[in-house]
Amino acid sequence: MIDVEDLLDLVRNYNPKADEALIREAYAFGEAAHQGQFRKSGEPYFTHPVEVAALLTEVHMDDATIITALLHDTVEDTGVTYNKIVEKFGNEVAELVDGVTKLTNLELSSVETAQAENFRKLLMAMSKDVRVLLVKLADRLHNMRTIKSLPPEKQQKKARETMEIYAPLAGRMGMQYIREELEDLCFAILNPEARHSIMRRFLNLRNETGDLIPVIIEDIKLALEKAGVIAHVTGREKRPYSIWRKMEEKKQGFSRLSDIYAFRIITRNEQDAYAALGAVHQRWAAIPGRFKDYISQPKSNGYRSLHTTVSGRDGKRVEIQIRTREMHIVAQSGVAAHWSYRDGEKVENKFAVDPFGWLRSLTEGFETADNPEDFLEHVKLEMFQDQVFCFSPKGDVINLPRGATPIDFAYAIHTRIGDSCVGAKVDGNRVPLWTRLRNGQSVEIIRAEGQRPQPSWEDMVITGRAKSAIRRSLREDHRAAHIRLGTEIARVALEKIGKKSTDKALSTAAKTMSIGTKDDLLAKLGTTEVTGRDLCKALYPELVRDDVVRNEGDSPSVVGLKPGETHLPALCCQPLPGERIVGITVRGKGVKVHAIDCEALVNYEESPDRWVDLRWTEGSAKAEHETAIEVIMANDTGVLGRICTLIGEHHANISNIDFLDRKPDFFRIKFVLEVRDYEHLLRIQTAIEADSDIASVTRVKDPAKDKLDRVK
């Protein structure tokens, strides 16, 4: 375990003015609090907080963050209270420790909805101070380095959570070295065979070619020296996970993947950085499409660097990053550079981003997500994607994830522009809306009044902001259509009992039914969550009862039953008065009444003793016999409303509407109706079929329901 003096040496290296007495006190306090506690590996538990603190010295963090690292598990795992931390180390440290404790208690790898909601809480927990997340990232990095002592199932769970949440967060914060190590540690757990395969190929490559890194470094140094550029050059093999991801993206084998080496040139100033780029391109051929200038167009986390890929020694592709020392500090520390110290003074790095501005950029637009799943998808999309930079016609730079389309570009400017987009020009040429944008392109959005987002757009866009806006707009459009249909259903239902559908009547009904607003009620009518009968009953219950019995005479009854024998209509065919019928006895359930042409009767051919000869009595029926019809109709404005009106005009009630199939040109809809008798149903079918926008009308019978009927 790192002792307190070794830890202080790490802090003194960048901050000789650190409050050593307070750090010593925090070390002693944490060690005492965790006394007698051990990790799964058998080590004293306090080794973990000390290692977390040591990791944070690598990015030159301030005293408060180092002390928080030493104490970050005390409130959760020991008897130490928040007030005790305030008393001994002040409010700043106590707030940071409390924030880390809250993050630790979030179960981010639970089911998707809980994960989404907890991730929202994660961002809120760190919104007061991003240092909370810096401590948590160091905590997770050390836990992943020592994860082998956990059971395999827990290793899988932690690795998946780290890969989905913490690794991309580290990347978005600019702490690329933490992201790469976290990804590689997770890779070793989640896909060990793939990692071992890549490691073996690295060894084979070294055996065949030798260690190329020092040779290529020397080549780069000679090229820079010739150009008069003073710089520090380093090189490395890319991590196995980075290689594997590139193989997956490019669908290439290891032998065809040539850019597996990465080199870095650190210059004295920005002018030297561009001079170094010129020297590299003079010495080696640049690979087209692989140059990125993040100095003139920095990433949102402050990252600045020149990236190029060249064809180096023996045709090997070599990726080279070029930046100044100040830029390199931000590239290594990311958002943490805001708190970085050097020689006891807080470093004023002009490239370091404001951490609170960075947090706003991360969460910008998240409030438009209407549910936790949308929110989580938005966050993951925004964090995982690299960036491209495009220009508006006015010259404004729009940052977008790689793979973004003109629709993403439109929504990045404003939701209104996205909603009204009908086309786009890229570099002056008209392009399809699914075109993937590239760095440096100029994009002009073509708009039209009255245009609305199309369902197909959701598959074209990749930004969370665009996806959320499109989904919200589509929901609004569906709601508007449901309200229009509900308005027609309400009109027909109320006219049926001699009343008018007025705004006041609908508002009163909504209040009576505890539905909210008038439009909420109409939307529910349109989606059949509420029926026209429910509406009438809420406003005029006496008239609804009268409506049920307003047909003269008694409903026909079934003749042919034994005294005291009960009967029920069969679900499979739902026989109506006027149809020929037959009964089938069902033990303990009386007699099920079937239409004589019901296909389910074949199931009883071997049991003639169960058949009962039945018929309907004469008489005028009430509109209370349920049956169903299937209608295939044109997907045009007003067609569904006309059909509902026709049914209402025939004094039948619609008890349910079920959309069986939705196509761009036709709908297939099942209507469940309450009718008087078979003749009544035929008149309704004839009237509907007469409409020019109706393809077919058929009665729905389902023989499979006979089995369900027998079980009930």
Cα–Cα nearest to 38, from 128, 115, 125, 149: 149
Cα–Cα nearest to 95, from 122, 46, 130, 59: 130
- Report the pLDDT value the prediction gives residue 270, as an integer from 0 to 100: 92
Which part of the chain has CATH 1.10.3210.10? 4-190
- Report the pLDDT value the prediction gives residue 15, as an integer from 0 to 100: 85
pLDDT tens-digit readout, 243-253: 787 776 665 55
CATH superfamily of 194-346: Beta Polymerase, domain 2 (3.30.460.10)
Cα–Cα nearest to 481, from 451, 531, 523: 523
Residues of the chain where predicted confidence (pLDDT) is lower than 50: 109-115, 365-368, 381-385, 545-553
3-class DSSP string for 352-394: CCCHHHHHHHHHCCHHHCCCHHHHHHHHHHHHHCCEEEEECCC
Q: Which residues are catalytic?
A: 76-77
d(Cα 589, Cα 708) in Å, to the nearest integer?
A: 13
- Report the pLDDT value the prediction gives residue 114, as an integer from 0 to 100: 47
- Report the pLDDT value the prediction gives residue 552, as an integer from 0 to 100: 39
Which part of the chain has CATH 3.30.70.260? 558-712
Question: Would you say 639 and 570 are in contact if contact means Cβ atoms under 8 Å apart?
Answer: no
- Report the pLDDT value the prediction gives residue 601, as an integer from 0 to 100: 87
Is the domain 558-712 a CATH 3.40.50.720 member? no
Q: Which amino acid is at 449?
A: E
- Report the pLDDT value the prediction gives residue 340, as an integer from 0 to 100: 61
- Report the pLDDT value the prediction gives residue 7, as an integer from 0 to 100: 92
Cα–Cα nearest to 144, from 181, 180, 107, 111: 181
**CA Rg value for the chain:** 36
* Chain centre distance of CA 200: 36
d(Cα 653, Cα 631) in Å, to the nearest integer?
A: 16
Read off the tokens for 19: 């409050």
| 593 backbone dihedrals φ, ψ, rounded to 5° | -95, 120
d(Cα 5, Cα 15) in Å, to the nearest integer?
A: 14
Q: Which amino acid is at 620?
A: S
- Report the pLDDT value the prediction gives residue 198, as an integer from 0 to 100: 80
* Chain centre distance of CA 580: 56
- Report the pLDDT value the prediction gives residue 547, as an integer from 0 to 100: 35
- Report the pLDDT value the prediction gives residue 112, as an integer from 0 to 100: 45
Whole-prediction pTM: 0.52
For the chain, give the number of residues. 712
- Report the pLDDT value the prediction gives residue 553, as an integer from 0 to 100: 42
- Report the pLDDT value the prediction gives residue 124, as an integer from 0 to 100: 58
CA angle (204, 187, 299) in 5-degree steps: 100
3-class DSSP string for 95-110: HHHHHHHHHHHCCCCC
Q: How many helices (H) and strands (E) does the chain have?
A: 29, 23
Those residues whose C-beta lies under 8 Å from the C-beta of residue 81, and which sit 6 or more positions away, are 75
Q: Which amino acid is at 54?
A: A
- Report the pLDDT value the prediction gives residue 546, as an integer from 0 to 100: 40
Please tell me the CATH code under which domain 4-190 is placed.
Answer: 1.10.3210.10
Which part of the chain has CATH 3.30.460.10? 194-346
- Other CB atoms within a 10 A radius of the CB of residue 181 amount to 18
pLDDT tens-digit readout, 575-585: 999 899 998 98
- Report the pLDDT value the prediction gives residue 407, as an integer from 0 to 100: 92
Cα–Cα nearest to 461, from 368, 376, 381: 381
Question: Would you say 653 and 623 are in contact if contact means Cβ atoms under 8 Å apart?
Answer: yes
- Other CB atoms within a 10 A radius of the CB of residue 590 amount to 16
Cα–Cα nearest to 492, from 448, 533, 551, 438: 533
d(Cα 594, Cα 464) in Å, to the nearest integer?
A: 55
